[in-house]
Structure 1
């Protein structure tokens, strides 16, 4: 199964477990996740963005200070902007946050329920799925020389035919190198692969 197929399968399982909405930020580095997925109500997402809550969100603060899982009702961190109170106005009445991974590449995910608190067994299943996503999307330690050359050619503006000629290989071989680089970097497009490679300092 490809990495994208594995990610999509796990997200479908999360959606079945948590139909009321979630946010997953994978491998947060330099204040931004390498991938994120969210199914919160659109009205809440828009309000959250307009208010720049990410910088003050107690769920994110907890995720950076702890590993494991915690119901929002059990948080002891201050919430001076009443973000969790605001969330309830949009139907995010109960929630749990899950955090895993080293602080330099932390995954933080939050899940919400309109009707009730999450049970312990549900939190354990959610936590397992978050850990699976974290492990599946682990950034690579490096790229092969062939993958780096192919990405550099495209980053420099070369078209496939010109890049293949420059490297002394066929166009199909060049495309295969790009495909393997995209797969290794968990990128859907070559442009995304180049961006990720730069972010990981692999190019």
Structure 2
């Protein structure tokens, strides 16, 4: 996994390339992404959620069926619920979907433009950036024994001093372990690191 700064830089680039917004679901596993980001207008996001469109979205269906990039106008997937028409009525007139990675950890991202189709050069740049995001957010295959011990102490409700005593190390050494596991899991807090470790089945 890479630093949050690398992720933020990639997201900024995607934001510039998709003026009407984007939605990126990274490493979809067991029907849920490990990370997701979106910049669509709140009105569209709420409308999309209220209508349960995620289960019927042709862009998502396409993303699970193959990898690569496809303009919404060329999607070879039926849209019986007219989701793309509804999107256009909310300013998401032209779009692009990119899918990357194995089916067990697929990244699917969609991008919208209100004025015109995405150019081939833009599609190449967006696709390259999505692949980069997929790579730098790949969860680690494992944690060190020390990192696991530190997280288990937190999971059991131990305070830092008690956890350090239990492990036979100084409190500053225990805090250093927590910092290292947060960095490894790209988590802002220890609680987030613990949650991710459970989701990634590393504990």
TM-score where L is the length of structure 2: 0.97
Task: State the alpha-carbon separation in 2 of the partners of residues 93 and 67 from structure 1.
Answer: 23
Q: Tell me if 1:33 matches 2:33.
A: yes
The equivalent of 1:189 in structure 2 is 189
| C-alpha RMSD over aligned residues | 0.8
The equivalent of 2:6 in structure 1 is 6
Task: State the alpha-carbon separation in 1 of the partners of residues 80 and 163 from structure 2.
Answer: 55
User: Which segments of 5 or more consecutive residues in structure 2 lack a partner in the other structure?
Assistant: none
Note the C-alpha offset of 1:19. 2.1
What is the correspondence of 1:40-55 to structure 2 with a 5 Å cutoff?
Answer: 40-55=40-55
User: Which segments of 5 or more consecutive residues in structure 1 lack a partner in the other structure?
Assistant: none
The equivalent of 2:81 in structure 1 is 81
Query: Across the two proteins, how many residue pairs are aligned to each other?
Result: 202
Contact 2:101 2:134 in 1 (8 A): yes
What is the correspondence of 1:162-177 to structure 2 with a 5 Å cutoff?
Answer: 162-177=162-177
TM-score where L is the length of structure 1: 0.97
Task: State the alpha-carbon separation in 2 of the partners of residues 111 and 185 from structure 1.
Answer: 27
1:160-187 CA distances to partner (integer Å, 9 max, x unpaired)? Answer: 1111111011111111111111111121
The equivalent of 1:130 in structure 2 is 130
Task: State the alpha-carbon separation in 2 of the partners of residues 193 and 143 from structure 1.
Answer: 11
